[in-house]
Structure 1
């Protein structure tokens, strides 16, 4: 059995409706080597009261103003001491109570573990899997046709996990994962559902800004001309998906 420590970081701001569900999904894990950090952005809606209620199960929590979600995530990374890090933000859940144990049991000593994500709406009803299926074998080039691994579904060795680039307000997680993947030698597909994701975050509400940031990130990592060609392929695949399904889940 693995004895690697996993630091799980939850970032939250004024989300009293969902934070308890996320906390429970973490503290009920059967895997014993978990460090749990909660970074709250100075919530005023009762979120902090919920966090305090579960204080004995939380390794550390803070509540203070921040400069946005990725600044808060950087605060979490700065406090993390585990061998691996996982972000499970407020509203999302680890898929099942034995998920973390199963992730580390899938293979020894990987730099990155990843899995599939199930999407949920605001009423916490399942709306199925993401449109972009996870790749059979992930590497830093795998995002060139769109983000195909959810932020909540990737466990990254802390020693290769840098800080988030605060120039990006909505898509810094994509840049963060690609940079880590460039350093990874062993990447393991757990071949299982590992996360439940609440749709409708800021990247949905500010969709065009998110798309522009993604284009800049992909250009930085893949080059301008290949990125333009890749986006043409993305557009064709999206059109085919709309024709077949009439909807889109990221």
Structure 2
């Protein structure tokens, strides 16, 4: 099973080596690594080029934002499975992809997802948040559930059949895509039940009331665009469920310990 991992980056020289190394150090042998750059000006391009042929595909050109760049990478991908990894982030250990592929094969699923850790942007030993996705049950999206987007690995045919990220959404483009794949089109899921991604805190924030209201409007649009209706409380349960992520004790980060995965 060939796996395509896509990283999009713009002026990410500070952390891009950590990201690239976490992919290239994976124990699974059949990985197609694709980097899509938005014409960086801070040395990012030179860093990427220094890896030579270890990078399967490298594209550097202007884009219309994060999700446009991700769509470009998906179109370039030739793997059976597609995963996304942001330039500031990295895999928790070297066996993540191997564990993911094993779970795909055991479960005969369409998509696999896991858990994520958020850490301090400069000191990755400082934990900020633990996103435990948990087991999926049918209609879980109606109760505010969603998996962490970067922990989500999907068969390439899902993108080919049901489409890529919508560029008319901003912060909710990842939510809409998973809502479409999982809730609307009933993609079969398997849960890895382990931390797969370590994310540096930052990026688009919905912490302020203004941003939360804007995000709520986009979440509602995600349902409307798919011709579906949530419960009246669905879109408020979604952010409320995240509060637990700040108080739940996460598993330890250190050590490339390969954990056994579990199917749904």
One fold, TM greater than 0.5?
yes
The runs of at least 4 aligned residues of structure 1 exceeding 6 Å deviation read none
What is the CA deviation profile of residues 64-83 of structure 1, one whole-angstrom value per residue up to 9, with x for unaligned ones? 10011111111011101000
Match of 2:215 in 1: 210
Q: 1:147 to 1:55 in 2, by over 3 A?
A: farther
Structure 1: 5+ residue stretches without partners: 246-250
Q: 1:231 to 1:29 in 2, by over 3 A?
A: same
Q: Answer yes or no: is the 8 Å Cα contact 1:203–1:210 preserved in 2.
A: no
Q: Answer yes or no: is the 8 Å Cα contact 1:121–1:127 preserved in 2.
A: yes
* Cα distance, 1:46 vs structure 2: 0.9
Q: Is structure 2 residue 181 aligned with structure 1 residue 176? A: no
Q: Answer yes or no: is the 8 Å Cα contact 2:7–2:87 preserved in 1.
A: yes
Equivalent-residue separation in structure 2 for 1:92 and 1:146 (angstroms): 25
Match of 1:231 in 2: 235
Q: 1:53 to 1:177 in 2, by over 3 A?
A: same
Match of 1:12 in 2: 9
Q: 1:138 to 1:193 in 2, by over 3 A?
A: farther
Q: Please state whether the residue corresponding to 2:202 is helix, strand or coil.
A: coil
* Cα distance, 1:147 vs structure 2: 5.3
Q: Please state whether the residue corresponding to 1:152 is helix, strand or coil.
A: helix
What is the CA deviation profile of residues 73-98 of structure 1, one whole-angstrom value per residue up to 9, with x for unaligned ones? 11011101000100101111112101
* Cα distance, 1:184 vs structure 2: 4.6
Q: 1:236 to 1:38 in 2, by over 3 A?
A: closer
What is the CA deviation profile of residues 181-221 of structure 1, one whole-angstrom value per residue up to 9, with x for unaligned ones? 24355311111111112221124588343332123214545
Q: 1:233 to 1:172 in 2, by over 3 A?
A: closer
Q: 1:50 to 1:210 in 2, by over 3 A?
A: farther
Q: Answer yes or no: is the 8 Å Cα contact 2:114–2:196 preserved in 1.
A: yes
What is the CA deviation profile of residues 79-136 of structure 1, one whole-angstrom value per residue up to 9, with x for unaligned ones? 0100010010111111210111011223523201111111112122322412xx3131
Match of 2:33 in 1: 36
Match of 1:114 in 2: 113
Number of positions where the alignment pairs a residue of Structure 1 with one of Structure 2: 236
Q: 1:67 to 1:137 in 2, by over 3 A?
A: same
Equivalent-residue separation in structure 2 for 1:142 and 1:241 (angstroms): 17
Q: Answer yes or no: is the 8 Å Cα contact 1:10–1:38 preserved in 2.
A: yes
Match of 1:194 in 2: 196
Alpha-carbon RMSD:
2.5
Q: Please state whether the residue corresponding to 2:13 is helix, strand or coil.
A: coil
Select the residue among 51, 54, 73 that pairs with 1:54: 51
* Cα distance, 1:63 vs structure 2: 0.9
Q: Please state whether the residue corresponding to 1:176 is helix, strand or coil.
A: helix
Q: Answer yes or no: is the 8 Å Cα contact 1:41–1:72 preserved in 2.
A: yes
Q: 1:165 to 1:193 in 2, by over 3 A?
A: same
Q: 1:138 to 1:157 in 2, by over 3 A?
A: farther
Q: Answer yes or no: is the 8 Å Cα contact 1:119–1:126 preserved in 2.
A: yes
